[in-house]
Amino acid sequence: MTAPYSLLILPGDGIGPEVMAEVTKVIDWFQTNRGMSFTVSHDDVGGAAYDRYGKPLADETMAKAQQVDAVLLGAVGGPKYDDLDFSLKPERGLLRLRKEMDLFANLRPAQCFDALADFSSLKRDVVAGLDILIVRELTSGVYFGEPRGIHADDNNPDNEGGRVGINTQRYTSGEIRRVARSAFELAKRRGNKVCSMEKANVMESGILWREEVQWVHDNEYPEVELSHMYADNGAMQLVRNPRQFDVIVTDNLFGDVLSDAAAMLTGSLGMLPSASLGAPMANGRPKALYEPVHGSAPDIAGQGKANPIACILSFAMALRYSFDQGDAAAELERAVEQVLADGVRTADLMGPEGGTPVSTSDMGDRIIAA
């Protein structure tokens, strides 16, 4: 019996509760069959929290999130909440969680299951067996840097239109070192290889990025293989030969773009998990929030059509990165692979050849059986 892991489950809105119900089955299975012990609490976020507490994230929920080993979130938002004030919108609940937990490393795996290789925007022989992890810095960089704004460009008579839009790319060495550490730690549990991407050829922050990642490598993780690549070349390499990578670490802006591009190497939105990690807590585990990349999908909510795999794979990431249960994570991923290989498909995974889709709950049951 392992020490109990504490989990806070926030199903949220739309298909969130439907896909989370399948994760709950998976958690129960690991407790019954693999001697793991989870202390699970449930609460609301997003529109569901607005309905219950009058705001998208209650203070008590926030406090719980700060204490648990991992938060598992479904999805937030929906047409019912479109007219709410900005500060009450469901998305604000998720943003508050990310901000107050200071989750600075966003993890987006791109893993290609063989049975779905034909869903990729690339050829099967380029993506078969693909398993890479993009680590994006999430709390700094050009999206947050000051000064910012749109101003009159008063002293520049040659500027047609007379305005200037300003954003500032700003990174501190500390911000770079902490996300670099996350990347090296993750690489140690995977292929032991990190590629850092920036534009050190044209950006000062890129030069600092390269130097600080190298510093963390040389001083703390010399055993992990490190390479550097300009982000534009990185984009090209990602679609030319993505299997050359294991962990990619990059800044907020480049990570935003590269992780969306990488997502399309693997196919459906219903398959993509994610994690956001912060600083290590007293027990050595990082603060962590796991969630599927997809949203609340109001168009299919309540119909039993949602694919639960993105949420189930998000839990696999929790097993691996919060609970150090890499073998259990791999076992869960193999079960998903097996079910897909058997041709079991939710509606979003139906190819042109057609067939009969299974329900959300059937997909969960098949994964458990596998």
Nearer to ligand ATP, 61 or 296 (CB): 296
- Determine, following the binding rule CB under 6 A, whether residue 269 of this chain makes contact with ligand ATP: yes
Question: Which of 28, 260, 327, 342 is the catalytic position?
Answer: 260
Site map for ligand ATP, 220-259, x if CB under 6 A?
----------------------------------------
**256 counts as catalytic:** yes
- Determine, following the binding rule CB under 6 A, whether residue 58 of this chain makes contact with ligand ATP: no
Any known ligand binding at 276? no
Nearer to Mg ion, 278 or 295 (CB): 295
- Determine, following the binding rule CB under 6 A, whether residue 56 of this chain makes contact with ligand ATP: no
**51 counts as catalytic:** no
Residue type, 272: L
Q: Which residues, in sequence order, are CB contacts of 7 under 8 Å at separation 6+?
A: 27, 38, 39, 40, 41, 68, 69, 70, 71, 72, 318
Alpha carbons within 13 A on the beta-carbon side of 167: 7
Residue 339: how many other CB atoms lie within 10 Å = 23
Nearer to ligand ATP, 103 or 263 (CB): 263
Residue type, 314: S
> What are 84's strand-pairing partners?
none
Q: What tokens does 213 get? A: 């990642």
**232 counts as catalytic:** yes
**143 counts as catalytic:** yes
Residues 184, 194 contacting (CB under 8 angstroms) = yes
Number of residues that bind Mg ion (CB under 5 A): 1
Strand segments, DSSP code E, in 162-236 are 163-166, 193-198, 225-230
**53 counts as catalytic:** no
Closest CA to 318 of 288, 292, 279: 288
Interface with ligand ATP by CB under 6 A: which range of 107-115, 228-236, 300-308, 327-335? 300-308
- Positions 27 through 46 that interact with ligand ATP (CB under 6 A): none
Least gap, CB of 260 to ligand ATP (angstroms): 12
Residue type, 351: G
Question: Which of 218, 232, 327, 342 is the catalytic position?
Answer: 232
CA 237, chain centre distance (Å): 21
Nearer to ligand ATP, 218 or 299 (CB): 299
Residue appearing with tokens 């969960």: 364
- Positions 256 through 315 that interact with Mg ion (CB under 5 A): 295
Residue 137: burial class (beta carbons within 10 Å; 0-12, 13-18, 19+): buried
Closest CA to 296 of 104, 25, 91, 84: 91
Interface with ligand ATP by CB under 6 A: which range of 40-48, 118-126, 290-298, 361-369? 290-298
- Determine, following the binding rule CB under 6 A, whether residue 310 of this chain makes contact with ligand ATP: yes
Least gap, CB of 295 to Mg ion (angstroms): 5
Q: Residue 354 — left, alpha, or beta (φ > 0 → left; ψ -120 to 50 → alpha)?
A: left
Residue 92: how many other CB atoms lie within 10 Å = 19
Question: Which of 256, 287, 290, 321 is the catalytic position?
Answer: 256
In the list 169, 266, 276, 307, the residue contacting ligand ATP (rule: CB under 6 A) is 307
In the list 139, 296, 322, 325, the residue contacting ligand ATP (rule: CB under 6 A) is 296
Measured CA to CA, the distance from residue 43 to residue 72 in angstroms comes to 11
Question: Which of 171, 199, 246, 348 is the catalytic position?
Answer: 199
Any known ligand binding at 109? no
Nearer to ligand ATP, 182 or 296 (CB): 296
* 3-state SS assignment for residue 50: helix
Q: Supply the residues annotated as catalytic.
A: 143, 199, 232, 256, 260
- Per CB under 5 A, residues contacting Mg ion are 295
